[in-house]
Structure 1
Amino acid sequence: MTANPILLQKKYSRVIECFAKQQGFSLDTALDFFYHSETYQLIRDGVSDMHCMSDAYLAEELEQEYAEKNEGY
């Protein structure tokens, strides 16, 4: 299922803001990570209706992805 592009853009901004607050990142840093994440690709492609998940859930998914990518540092 695909979502309305305008609604997706609003969803992205809320998720990015939530992720930035959780991690203590600037919005620019959170934005950059989000648009290079697997989570973004899943939402964008409509996989498993990820766009229907709550903003907090998606921010937690980003947090886990960030932790996995930065484990060795």
Structure 2
Amino acid sequence: MKRLEDLTLPQSLQSKISTLVRRVSDAQGDVDIRMAVERAEGFVEGLEAARCLTDATIEALFIIIESAAERH
């Protein structure tokens, strides 16, 4: 599995995605976890729609988000 640090991203995206993944990891309770996941996934979906990143990077980001949620 990839780690966020392994991806080559512009610093502004790295910072924002890191914050969103941390919110998923830190969330408590099913509702808060789901909300944090949806917010992070929505951000990645926006990047996908804008075609800012490769398909492989987008897929890796979704996997990273889901992995953060599963750690609970």
Tell me whether the two structures share a fold, i.e. TM-score over 0.5: no
Output the TM-score relative to the length of structure 1: 0.36
